[in-house]
Amino acid sequence: MIERSVKDNLPVRELITGSESISPDTRVSILAERFYNEPNLDSLPLVKNGHPCGLASRGKILTTLAIRFGFALYGRKPISVIADTTPLVVHTDDTLNEVLGQAMARSFNDIYDAILVVDDEDKYVGWLSVKRLVIEQGNFLAKSIVQRELAISKAVEIEKLDKMKTSFMAHVTHELRSPITAIVGFAELMQMRFARQQLEDFPKYLSLLSSSSQNLRSIVNNILDLSKIEAGRMEVFNEDFSLCELLSEVLETCKMLVGEKPLSIEVDCPDPPATLYGDRIKIHQILLNLASNAIKYSDRGIIVISAKMTDELQLTVKDTGIGIKKTDLQRLFSAFDQLEDAKTRRHEGTGLGLNITKQLVQLLGGRINVESTFGVGSRFDVIIPQNIQNIVQEAS
Amino acid sequence: MKKPKTVMIIDDDERHLLTAKGLIEALGYIVEIHNSPFRTTEKVLKIKPDMVLLDVNMPALPGDRLCAILRSEPDLEDIPIYLYSANDEEILRKSVKQFQADGYICKGNVSALRLRVQQVLGD
Ligand SMILES: Nc1ncnc2c1ncn2[C@@H]1O[C@H](COP(=O)(O)OP(=O)(O)OP(=O)(O)O)[C@@H](O)[C@H]1O
Ligand SMILES: [Mg+2]
């Protein structure tokens, strides 16, 4: 038996939060339903023949379902297909400190997941809540107030992140479903009208169908990009390309985005035309994200897109739009965050554009800067160290 | 023949107004549309629809709160109001309770839309 006097070495068997489990063969749809209906249910261990074989956690399951248009693809599959198959598993005799150490060493996205506890025969005994362990440890460390506060603030921090992800989920769900809904509706309506040969509204329906699909495409692309970046799977691919050609491609897309708005777009290309060695696709995406924001958040005026080459590549997008409040500037680049309240927003979007842009810029070794006056306009500057990257690339 | 019943749809998104209108008209009902949360009360009082479909995410005033406002009109106490939204169902369920709607219909679920409208209005 462990000595009770060594309190922070408490064996985790005394800290087990629950012992519920489900079979790995449970259908995704059934589990998703449970997560919807039981807001306090965070995760469920998967157990087969008494042995733990995975963990289904609320956030990850619901996110997967949303990102991949879930139910259609996964609804009938067994939960083991999308669950975490390598959860943290510890022994009943392991101590609080050891276990927390292991939990905290996991990647940020996994830290919060439940930990499974097994006995001598590797049979499932129950699960531990990391949140609870952290608080428990804080209590045991009461002699050092500082340490305790540190532990608790960590728990609060994790909780905050979790909340943000939940609201992001709700938001993305709406952004994805809105265009899908329109597409389904128009398809159904056209089918009905076609059967009666009432074709007069077709051109209008088709154009809305097409714009809804494009809207959906860009949202899906954003979500996939972000997942790729977060998984560390976004790679840099350098090639030779003409900066001016790139700018005129961006200009073409922008003209489409402007639509009926009284907005003019100017492109300022370096003279003489420069050939660049770099990641063309990412630079294109960076410019387009900034330019599409400039268009989206301006009702009138001029948007200037310019590029300058020194020993660095300097890209600037300037608009005369709604501008950004000083107090909002900091939040601008965080994912899951939009300046307008989701339910009363005037503009569509996932709030991922700038976060992706910033991560792309960083991936290219550059930096991004913003200046803005509320009600007047904004200016985004991106600087990418051109030559350095050249040398590094050519040397390797 | 008796006069067909009327459904009123409030949504700031033209695409959703058009599709819902087309689908419900095909069931033989009259559909009135309104494309902003503002002046909704006046319009509903004037038209006196037999059912209201209310989008939730709208600029300046979300539909669930608008629902509570409509409800506070003595003349609109008994009118069936449904939230018609692409939001997460979990959130809609809460909004229905909190803002005294009669229920919700998920945008995109065409058969649920037809079914619910027919259920509420009868034919
Ligand atoms: N040029 C701009 N002028 C004013 N506000 C801006 C500008 N660019 C971004 N913002 C604000 O910053 C927020 C975050 O921008 P971001 O591009 O990340 O998301 P989004 O445009 O809302 O959605 P999307 O993911 O479709 O790009 C926006 O919601 C908007 O409030
Ligand atoms: Mg954007």
pLDDT of B62 higher than 80 = yes
pLDDT for A349 equals 75
pLDDT of residue A84: 84
| pLDDT class of A97 with cuts at 50, 70, 90 | confident
Please tell me the least confidently modeled range out of A2-6, A342-346, B97-101.
A2-6
Residue pair A151/A123 in contact by the 8 Å Cβ criterion: no
State yes or no: pLDDT of A4 exceeds 50. no
> Any idea which architecture A239-395 has in CATH?
2-Layer Sandwich (3.30)
Residue A286: what pLDDT? 96
Cβ distance B56 to A343 less than 8 Å, yes or no, reads yes
Q: Per residue in A273-293, pLDDT tens?
A: 788 899 999 999 999 999 999
Nearest to A43 by CA among A123, A105, A129, A102: A129
Of residues B62 and A348, more confidence is placed in: B62
Please indicate whether residue A92 or residue A231 has the higher confidence score (pLDDT): A92
Share of chain A above pLDDT 70, in %: 82
pLDDT confidence band for A390 (50 / 70 / 90): very low
Q: State the pLDDT at residue A68.
A: 42
pLDDT at A393 over 90: no
Domain boundaries, chain B: 6-121
Does A334 have pLDDT greater than 90? no
Choice among A5-9, A138-142, A251-255, A306-310 with the minimum mean pLDDT: A5-9
What pLDDT does A227 receive? Answer: 82
Residue of A169, A181, A344 for testing the chain B interface, max B β-carbons within 10 Å: A181
pLDDT at A50: 92
- Inter-chain touch B23–A189, beta carbons under 8 Å: yes
Residue found under tokens 């300022």: A268
Give me the total of CB pairs closer than 8 Å, taking one residue from chain A and one from chain B: 84
pLDDT of residue A70: 54
Tokens read off for A305: 């897109």
Residue ranges of A 168-197 with Cβ closer than 8 A to chain B: 169-170, 173-174, 177-178, 180-182, 184-186, 188-189, 192-193
> Does the pLDDT value for residue A148 go beyond 70?
no
Backbone φ, ψ for residue A366 (5° rounding): -105, -170
User: For residue A27, is pLDDT > 60?
Assistant: yes
Ranking A228-237, A335-344, B34-43 by mean pLDDT, the lowest is A335-344
Q: Could you give the C-alpha distances from A293 to A52, A178, A290, A322, A353, in angstroms and in order? A: 47, 20, 5, 11, 8
Per-residue pLDDT, A394: 40
By the CB < 8 Å criterion, does A69 face chain B?
no
Of A178, A180, A346, the CB nearest to B59: A346
Least confident of A153-162, A283-292, B45-54, B101-110: A153-162
Nearest-CA distance A215 → chain B (Å): 12
Q: Which two tokens stand for residue A38?
A: 């039981």
For chain B, what percent of residues have pLDDT higher than 70?
98
Q: Which of B62, B89, B107 sits opposite A181 (nearest CB)?
A: B107
User: Regarding the domain with residue range B6-121, which homologous superfamily does it belong to in the CATH classification?
Assistant: Response regulator (3.40.50.2300)
Mutual orientation of helices A202-230 and A353-363 as an angle, nearest 10°? 50
Q: Which of B73, B78, B26, B25 is nearest to B51 (CA)?
A: B78
Q: Which of A10-19, A299-308, A385-394 has the highest mean pLDDT?
A: A299-308
pLDDT beyond 90 at A10 = no
Is the predicted pLDDT of residue B21 greater than 70, yes or no?
Answer: yes
At A391, the pLDDT band (50, 70, 90 cuts) reads very low
Q: Is A298 in the pocket of ligand 1 (CB under 6 A)?
A: no
Residue A202: predicted pLDDT: 94
Who wins on pLDDT, A290 or A176? Answer: A290
CA distance linking residue B8 with residue B85, whole number of Å: 15
Mutate which of A297, A299, A328, A376 for ligand 1? The one with the most ligand atoms within 8 Å of its CB, which is: A297
pLDDT reported for residue A66: 60
| pLDDT given for residue A319 in this prediction | 97
Question: Listing from the earlier edge strand, what are the strands of the sheet with B6-10?
Answer: B30-34, B6-10, B51-54, B81-85, B103-106
| Shortest-distance atom of ligand 1 to CA A322 | 4
Percent of chain A's residues with pLDDT above 90: 39
Task: Name the band, by pLDDT with cuts 50, 70 and 90, for residue A395.
Answer: very low
Reported as a pLDDT band with limits 50, 70 and 90, residue A321 is very high
Parse chain A into domains and list their residue ranges. Answer: 7-167, 239-395
- Is the pLDDT confidence value at A311 over 80? yes
- CATH for A7-167, options being 3.20.20.450, 3.30.1330.30, 3.40.50.300, 3.10.580.10: 3.10.580.10
Q: Is the pLDDT of residue A244 over 50?
A: yes
Average pLDDT over residues B17-35: 95
Residue A331's DSSP bridge partners are none
**Three-state DSSP state, A386:** helix
A192 contact residues in B (CB cutoff 8 A): 22-23, 26
pLDDT per position as a tens digit, A191-220? 999 999 999 999 999 989 988 898 888 888
Our answer on whether the CB atom of A317 is closer than 6 Å to any ligand 1 atom is no
Give the per-residue pLDDT at A2: 38
Taking the C-alpha atoms of residue A204 and residue A373, their distance in angstroms, rounded to an integer, is: 39
